[in-house]
Chains A and B, each alone.
Chain A
């Protein structure tokens, strides 16, 4: 599998570079103006990467679900909140790398995003293409992983110590986006999620599809939405029956962007913040009761 991925990367990447150079020589077609206001789009990433040398600080917060109504003021006072603090840096043009800490499962994540192609104004390149990858470490106590008994395929239940590799999870995504006009930008994507350790009833791998976008309604404000669907694929399932926890993540909200900040306030049905957690563990069905308020604030500094 690893060799196969390496093979694909080695064959595809050089050609994209050659292709890009070729385009540059033929026409001086410039990239479209900011297809998105920020690199974040609720729970997803956009193909937009700020200018090189940019440092970004992000605060992502999700409150509890609104189901209890006034008693916990629609989840604002609920104890089940999740928060992530993150720093991202753009060392090279169209390449961003970052680190984040989340409360849920005490995740520490390292991530990288590379916008391989930018959509151009004259449609020489009609879409933007980006790759996004996240590796996260579950930092909880060993006891949080169960009683130390781990299901090992073919060997049944066995005693295991939780080692570092068991805490790792990965998310990789291909994002394709297009700015259709000055008020509409849409993205679609496909992703692969892998957890090194899951409960015996679950799968280690999950493939998902993504659809998200923004609709500008004033120079600074837009309506934004996400739809992330983990797919039930029998062929890759390790179980006789494809396990549960396959709820799609639906979220929608408002984004306000200024020179250095982006504010997003939204409602959604996933408690997780990092993408692999959402794709693998979202068990909240999409219903009014399962929606929770959340917000994202980003601040950028240019160096």
Chain B
């Protein structure tokens, strides 16, 4: 009876191990293409009350270093240390397509986020700091 039980367990284990071994040779699945952001109109039309405010330059830089750099990289090319483990491709901040967006659209992408891009509403609670960050991202042309 005991022997029968072991046999019962052996086959699934063999198949599982073989499956895992074979999986190691499978080619990695390519990154899924970036889905377009669906940005609510409220954000698209949002005005940046701090546009061009030079006094916030350092704040924006600090916010970027603390919250964004590890994925988006030193100058926003999407080459930070954590980027390699991401599924989504990151658009570089110097990309024309990225920079052609309104401040409000960048605000939505940066602060509200989706999927792998986290929500930063609680980590950057102040509007002034959020716009300071967006001003800095704008400067990474």
Q: Taking beta carbons and an 8 Å cutoff, which residues of A are in contact with B?
A: 30, 33, 51, 53-54, 182, 218-220, 257-260, 302
New A-B pairs, 11, CB < 8 Å, besides A182-B58, A220-B66, A259-B66: A30-B126, A33-B126, A51-B122, A53-B122, A218-B65, A219-B61, A257-B66, A258-B70, A259-B70, A302-B122, A302-B123
A residues within 8 A CB of B126?
30, 33
* Minimum distance in angstroms from A225 CB to a CB of chain B: 22
Task: Find the A residue at minimum CB distance from B124.
Answer: A259
Residues facing A in B27-70 (CB within 8 A) are: 58-59, 61-62, 64-67, 70
A residues within 8 A CB of B65?
218-220
Bound-complex Cα distance A259 to B16 (A):
39
* Minimum distance in angstroms from A268 CB to a CB of chain B: 26
Known: A182-B58, A220-B65, A220-B66. A259 touches B129 (CB 8 A): no
* Minimum distance in angstroms from B121 CB to a CB of chain A: 8
Q: Taking beta carbons and an 8 Å cutoff, which residues of B are in contact with A?
A: 58-59, 61-62, 64-67, 70, 120, 122-123, 125-126, 129
Bound-complex Cα distance A203 to B122 (A):
45
* Minimum distance in angstroms from A24 CB to a CB of chain B: 16
* Minimum distance in angstroms from A74 CB to a CB of chain B: 28
Q: Would you call the interface of chain A mostly helix, strand, loop, or mixed?
A: loop
A residues within 8 A CB of B122?
51, 53-54, 302
Could you show 22 A-B contacts with beta carbons less than 8 Å apart? A33-B59, A33-B129, A51-B122, A51-B123, A51-B125, A53-B122, A54-B122, A218-B65, A219-B61, A219-B62, A219-B64, A219-B65, A219-B66, A220-B66, A257-B66, A258-B67, A259-B66, A259-B67, A259-B70, A259-B120, A259-B123, A302-B123
* Minimum distance in angstroms from B129 CB to a CB of chain A: 7
Bound-complex Cα distance A257 to B62 (A):
11
B residues within 8 A CB of A258?
66-67, 70
Task: Find the A residue at minimum CB distance from B59.
Answer: A33
* Minimum distance in angstroms from B20 CB to a CB of chain A: 31
* Minimum distance in angstroms from A1 CB to a CB of chain B: 41
> Which 7 pairs across A and B sit closest by C-beta, in order of nearness?
A219-B65, A302-B122, A259-B67, A219-B62, A51-B122, A220-B65, A51-B125
B residues within 8 A CB of A257?
66
Task: Find the A residue at minimum CB distance from B118.
Answer: A259
A residues within 8 A CB of B66?
219-220, 257-259
Bound-complex Cα distance A30 to B61 (A):
21
Bound-complex Cα distance A302 to B113 (A):
15
Task: Find the A residue at minimum CB distance from B64.
Answer: A219
